[in-house]
A and B are shown apart, each in its own frame.
Chain A
Amino acid sequence: MKAHRLAEDLSALPTYGFGTSMTMWWGTLGFCALEGMGFALAIGAYLYLVHVNAQWPLADVPPNHWPGTILTIILLASIWPNLQAERRAREENLPAVRRWLIVMCALGALLVAIRFYEFTQLNVRWDQNAYGSITWIILGLHAAHLLTDLGDTAVLAALMFTRHAKGKRFSDVEDNAFYWYFVVGSWLPLYLLVYWVPRW
């Protein structure tokens, strides 16, 4: 190994931080980008199928939008508790972080339940025609995000009740909150596509 001379001492640097200072934040952003690309392609496929079919939707009635609309409202409202969890994590306020993570878990569970109900209100089956197939896959892709985020948040909430709840775990809570914004934001175009394009 090449001989070296010490030019700078980094001993005073902290071992964790928040937001863009951490590698995990960038990793989360990377996964948001590639999953977002998946959503964009699914949207592209939907619009392509709209384009090649003279009639749309390929069903007698469009989906019942109410479960989806309620889900959208709850999703948008969840930004506030999510923001609380994020801010309390930055303050390293453990009791508050625990509280808000539990709130987010409860909201996540409610949203997953509504999502399951949404599938029953689409008025088309996945194997009926291409319209049914693309509607189900789009809703399914986003449902997978709701489910996995619920899983993440539940595990993280449990972790914050153990001896490990210190230091960089607060940064993990912040990254988890960051990912939730992606789950909320990516839903909005999908909501318009699934529920309102067939009514257009």
Chain B
Amino acid sequence: MNDTSAKNFSEPPGYEAAKEENPRHTPSHDDGLNNESNEADRVSGEFFREVNAVMTIALRDLTKLFRDRPRLVAGLIFPIIFIGVLGGGLNASFGKVLDYDFLTFVFTGVLAQTMFTSTASGVISLVQDRENDFSRELFVAPISRYTIVIGKIAGESLVSLWQAIGVMVFGLIIGVPLTVILVLKLLPILLIISFLGGAFGILVLANLGSQRTANQIFPFLIFPQFFLAGVFNPITALPLYLSLPSKLVPLTYAVDFLRSIYFRGSPAYEEIVLFSPVADFVVIAVVSLIFLVAGTYLFARSERNR
């Protein structure tokens, strides 16, 4: 690096020897901590690095899901009870007075609800245990807080998708009309809904601080939405005092969005769907963005500002 003669004057004796021991300057030790040889391999560019981190965080959730066999099954129990028992039971008693298939109505509602709820509660696990969890490894990494949150939402969306597949298989078994084309059409809708759920989850977490309080409060925030959003009950003709809160809860638009795609072209569309798919999408996009930005900001602040 230096001219030899100059080096002799500019560096005190022993400096060269010290440098030899220091692999930061001379990569001579092959001990696995040396990255010099992999410099070309480093992820370059700020943006790509964040994307790399999002993938890393998301895939971790999926890996964990497939390693946790009880969870693989447990995720399917509630939706199946909702559709099978509630949908099937109600269909048998009230189905005759309706112009459409009530089972399909409940199926579409539960499918949307599953994506929303599962992703929301998954995101809440971001601080599973402040003191004893991998989350600290995430928070100390040199990545944006949005990257952590989006990575987590993406991961939990993939987990929810597994549940959605299970729900659809169950739907097919009990006779819900589903075609491959329809499933492919529903797939992006399901992911959009889970993004909304994830953004909702981060906002809940940011405001409730710990996972424990979040877990206690979460049912109170989610169950009323089931009924206001019309997961199991038609909401086309609600009295004003119910129709107003019904329009305020985010799940309403998620459920309506999915049904607007599912029932498209069917005679039941007019009876079931409230808004146009475009309107639903715009509401979902705007609300998700607000939840995500506010939630991430508040969450990052509550984590560090103790």
User: Do A and B interact?
Assistant: no
- B residues near A (Cβ < 8 Å) are none
